[in-house]
Structure 1
Amino acid sequence: MASRLRGALLPDLSPWRSSRDFRLLWVQGLITFFSSFMAMVALPLQIKDLTGSPLAVGIMGAVELVPLVVFGLYGGALADAVDRRRMLVITEGGMAVMAVILLVNALLPTPALWPLYVVAAGVSALAGLQRPALDSLMARIVPHDQQTAAAALNALRWQLGAIAGPALAGLVVAYAGHATAYTTTAVGFLVSVALCSRLSPAPPAHDAEKPSLRGIAEGARYAWSRPVLLGTYAVDLAAMLFAFPNTIFPFLADELDAEWSLGLMYAAGSVGSLLLSLTSGWTSRVRRHGLFVVFGAAGWGLAIAAAGWFTNIWLVLLCLAFAGAGDLLSGLGRATIWNQTIPEALRGRLAGIEVLSYSVGPQLGQVRAGAVAGWTGTRAAFWSGGLLCVASVGLLTAALPKLVGYDAATDEDALRRRAQKEGTAAEAAL
């Protein structure tokens, strides 16, 4: 009984055992996350030290958004046309170069401000190019029936980086300076390049088209024609648009007379998703992944609404942790559906569209939260956004019933993708 309970709760390690490339990417990703968080903390702190202006720090977000969207869409088309391993090696190497530029600038007697914005835009562009290749690679290297387990393990990797990375980065910057942080970042990316170079080649199909606007439009048309896929994008976008209140956390902490809790507010969501990752073994046995998307997003909205109602800071933090768990559950469903249904020839372009929804939703959500907080108050911005999230998920569920009805064992696209993958594996074995 105890062993069955552990098996149902502990993370499913099947992808780790069955795929050498998954192990390499998992370790590479963990190193990259730590390296990235080192720069993510050091860079805005250096802008603050140089200018003393909150506006100057905030401009960095605007500088990063456009390259992420543009290069994310182009990177999706590129991922379908070139070797994805090569894209990972080149983009990780490019990020190492960006870190070296920051290091050289930090070592100058008087560091300049403009290189910090140039590097921020450059890193955002490289991330946009890389993410579709990285996301689309998972369907190739992980067996069809292990996609949910792989998504849970990848989420666990991200959470370890998100929780420990900023804390470690803050200590390094505080006690060793910006130059040491940038050196650590550069070394981490160089190690990542070495790991990526050991991956198996991931060439495109022999008849793959060159990247073009027509190719990107073809991917968008495919997503629009598939209600299940369209539902995953729409639900995620709605949840982030209406219930992403991170930008007003400082104001909520002030209203609750708990300024000391601000860091905990930012970390609570990651803690909640980490706890779900550590008890995610049961998710590998579920076939109705559309339910993950819907219930996870609705749970996220309810938890955010509850955070706006409670006045006890510990209950607020508990709600934010539940919100993080709901967000992860929805993310597991989305990742599984994408990797089980999207044809190999379109996977990169669809991943590029996912980058678009991933980046635009939270940005618009922060604008909504700030505007509503200024109009009706901070707590009202929380609960109204959470309830709008739940309502929008309900409307989308009614409009796209195939999302809720998705079953990995019966869905035509999932069965077709499974057959294609098994045929490719059989050819490789001959």
Structure 2
Amino acid sequence: MRHLLIDLTPLRTSPAFRRFFLGRAVSELGGQISVVAVMYQVWEATHSPLWSGSVALAQLVPMLVAGLWGGAVADRADRRSILMATTLTQVVLALLLMTQALWLGASPSSLGLVLVLVALMAAAGAVAAPAGMGVIPRLLPTNQVAAGLALNRLSFQGSMLVGPALGGLIIGYAGLEIAYAADALSFTVGFLGIIGLPRLTPVTRTNGGGILEGLRFAATQPVVRGVLLVDLAATVLAMPVSLFPLINEERFGGDPRTLGLFLTAIAVGGVAASLVSGSFTRRSRPGLIMICAAAVWGASLGAVGLATSAWLCLALLAVAGAADSVSVVTRGALIQLAVPDDLRGRTAAVEMIVGAGGPEVGNLRGGAVAQLTSGSFALVSGGIACLLALAAVGATSRQMLAFRTDRDAV
């Protein structure tokens, strides 16, 4: 039974990882509160699913530009310094979001400023992400890296479990400005966790290739390429978040305190999967596990479009969240095992752009389809398209499916 449960060894044996983990967990909680705040503010200002999806576009463009540059920097500079600088930037941006909410509220005049600040927040996060991805292999021995990734995923899913519902309550009872203030406070706590890290200058410094070398490696290395294609199929074609305000209005009366339940439902499944992550992190075929989990994600979200009961909808979202957690952890393990150290930052940047940019494109797609048709059609058509795309990726990515870790199957 113990082999099925999440491995807590990294938290017990590495004080530096423990500080980093706790700081990151708190900042992720604040980030989820802010997600609901932005979602609610844009919806109240426009009542348009297309505008709700435009938040995704505002995040995607700076993420693409800043993320690739951040990956190259992470392979050359002290990753601790990068994280400190970007986290302080996020504190300032969260305070600016708080200020605009205080003065403008959820009015149409706030829309442009909100999108600009969200774009800058995405750029800062994109620079930080490759450096953050390179921290765990430096703080933990090789045989604990997968466990560290699973713990990180648990903290993220835990923040999704608590953060959106908490954000809805804060907005409903205290206002948008307090929700953004909570985000600023959470980044401050995250900064304190980073201060305790040792210097994290890359062990090796590559002399050639730059950003293009990371792109070339990701596009030509069969395992990495397959992993990224699976993630794109799942997120671009079946991402549902931009549809949540519309579904909330149709099935929950538009109450901001229930809007957070959609993300919370996904997190419930994700946390459940993370708590028993030993059942899949100890298996020797992560590629096969990942693509199967992505298929469950697509099928569950497609079924949400057909569900007539709000509670069935939430249950299906929980199943999707569990599948997403399995897919993300196995994807991270594959990337860590397939990438040499001197390309880790740049490959992490590509993975981050795909992992974060794919959902933004998917949210924009979902909002646009819903604007032209309906929310139900956007969900069902996205789920079907996701399953077809995964079948095509599986047929052309045999090396990813056949990849075996050095762990024995149990």
TM class by smaller structure: 0.7 to 0.9
Shift of 1:222: 1.3
Look up the match of 1:245: 240
Look up the match of 1:73: 68
Q: Does the 8 A contact of 2:280 with 2:326 survive in 1?
A: no
User: CA distance change for structure 1 residues 225 and 307 in 2, over 3 Å: closer, same or farther?
Assistant: same
Q: Does the 8 A contact of 2:164 with 2:264 survive in 1?
A: no
Q: What is the correspondence of 1:252-267 to structure 2 with a 5 Å cutoff? A: 252=247, 263-267=260-264
Confirm or deny that 1:191 pairs with 2:189. Answer: yes
Q: Does the 8 A contact of 1:258 with 1:313 survive in 2?
A: no
User: CA distance change for structure 1 residues 105 and 223 in 2, over 3 Å: closer, same or farther?
Assistant: closer
Q: Does the 8 A contact of 2:71 with 2:346 survive in 1?
A: yes
User: Residues of 2 paired with 1:81 and 1:363: CA distance?
Assistant: 29
1:286 counterpart SS class: coil
Look up the match of 1:162: 160
Q: What is the correspondence of 1:120-159 to structure 2 with a 5 Å cutoff? A: 120-159=118-157
User: Residues of 1 paired with 2:54 and 2:244: CA distance?
Assistant: 19
Shift of 1:90: 0.9
Shift of 1:382: 2.7
Specify every segment of 5 or more residues in structure 1 that has no aligned partner in the other structure, as ranges: 411-430
* 1:213-245 residue CA offsets vs partner (Å, 9 max, x unmatched): x51110111122211110000010011122123
Look up the match of 1:414: none
Q: Report the AA paired with residue 204 of structure 1.
A: P
User: Residues of 2 paired with 1:181 and 1:84: CA distance?
Assistant: 29
Shift of 1:99: 2.9
Shift of 1:131: 0.6
Percent identity between matched residues is 34
Q: Does the 8 A contact of 2:304 with 2:380 survive in 1?
A: yes
Q: What is the correspondence of 1:176-325 to structure 2 with a 5 Å cutoff? A: 176-205=174-203, 207-209=205-207, 214-252=209-247, 263-325=260-322
Q: Does the 8 A contact of 1:69 with 1:355 survive in 2?
A: no
Confirm or deny that 1:337 pairs with 2:331. Answer: no
2:134 counterpart SS class: helix
User: Residues of 1 paired with 2:227 and 2:204: CA distance?
Assistant: 30
Q: Does the 8 A contact of 1:292 with 1:332 survive in 2?
A: no
Q: Does the 8 A contact of 1:98 with 1:122 survive in 2?
A: yes
Q: How many residues align structurally?
A: 402
1:203 counterpart SS class: coil
Shift of 1:252: 5.0
User: CA distance change for structure 1 residues 377 and 108 in 2, over 3 Å: closer, same or farther?
Assistant: closer
Of the structure 1 ranges 83-92 and 57-66, higher mean CA displacement relative to structure 2 is found in 57-66
* 1:91-148 residue CA offsets vs partner (Å, 9 max, x unmatched): 1111122233345556669998465444322211110100111012222222222333
* 1:221-276 residue CA offsets vs partner (Å, 9 max, x unmatched): 11222111100000100111221233334555677798777553343221111111
Shift of 1:403: 0.7
Aligned-residue CA RMSD (Å)? 3.1
Look up the match of 2:391: 394
Confirm or deny that 1:346 pairs with 2:343. Answer: yes
TM-score normalized by the length of structure 1: 0.83
Q: Does the 8 A contact of 1:149 with 1:283 survive in 2?
A: no
Q: Report the AA paired with residue 88 of structure 2.
A: G
* 1:290-348 residue CA offsets vs partner (Å, 9 max, x unmatched): 12211111111222233334434433332222111111111111100111221111111
Q: What is the correspondence of 1:48-59 to structure 2 with a 5 Å cutoff? A: none
Q: What is the correspondence of 1:397-412 to structure 2 with a 5 Å cutoff? A: 397-409=394-406
Shift of 1:175: 3.7
Shift of 1:178: 4.5
Look up the match of 1:14: 9
Larger relative contact order (Cα-Cα within 8 Å, sequence gap ≥ 6): 2
1:202 counterpart SS class: coil
TM-score normalized by the length of structure 2: 0.86
Of the structure 1 ranges 336-345 and 98-107, higher mean CA displacement relative to structure 2 is found in 98-107
Look up the match of 2:170: 172
User: CA distance change for structure 1 residues 94 and 226 in 2, over 3 Å: closer, same or farther?
Assistant: same
